[in-house]
């Protein structure tokens, strides 16, 4: 799996942390780095952004963060995925999003 490469792990960590830090610039940077490195966009979404959202959800369930943080984190993920879709279109990649499911065909 591509996520085993050190560069890819670094990019996935950046995407995850962008969610946890509510940092849209970091999310956009992770997307650009992933595209430049040839990373599978689905990996970036599932192993980066969604993992960050899962952790944020866990924090909410423990009572460590308010519900507002979930909404803020989802906006960051939305911006990252939106940029990823734009980059996929520019690079003629076939990225299909179905609700919460992403596929690279």
Q: Answer whether residue 64 is part of any domain.
A: yes
CA angle 32, 34, 36 (to 5 degrees): 70
Q: What is the CATH number of the domain that holds 54?
A: 1.10.1240.10
Work out how many domains the chain is built from and give that number: 1
pLDDT tens digits for range 47-89: 999 999 999 999 999 999 999 999 999 999 999 999 998 887 7
Residue 59 token pair: 């924090």
37, 11 in Cβ contact below 8 A? yes
Q: Answer whether residue 102 is part of any domain.
A: no
Q: Answer whether residue 100 is part of any domain.
A: no
Tell me if the pTM is above 0.95.
Answer: no
CB count, 10 Å around CB of 47? 22
Q: Answer whether residue 35 is part of any domain.
A: yes
CA torsion, points 19, 23, 28, 34, in degrees to nearest 10?
A: -50
Q: Answer whether residue 105 is part of any domain.
A: no
Owning domain of residue 18: 4-88
């Amino acid at each position: 799996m591509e996520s085993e490469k050190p560069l890819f792990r670094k990019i996935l960590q950046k995407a995850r942390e962008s969610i946890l830090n509510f940092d849209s610039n970091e999310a956009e940077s992770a997307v650009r780095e992933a595209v430049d490195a040839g990373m599978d966009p689905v990996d970036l979404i599932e192993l980066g952004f969604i993992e960050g959202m899962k952790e944020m959800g866990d924090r909410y369930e423990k009572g460590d963060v308010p519900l507002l943080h979930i909404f803020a984190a989802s906006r960051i993920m939305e911006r990252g995925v939106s940029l990823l879709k734009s980059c996929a279109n520019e690079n003629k990649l076939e990225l299909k999003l179905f609700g919460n499911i992403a596929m690279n065909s």
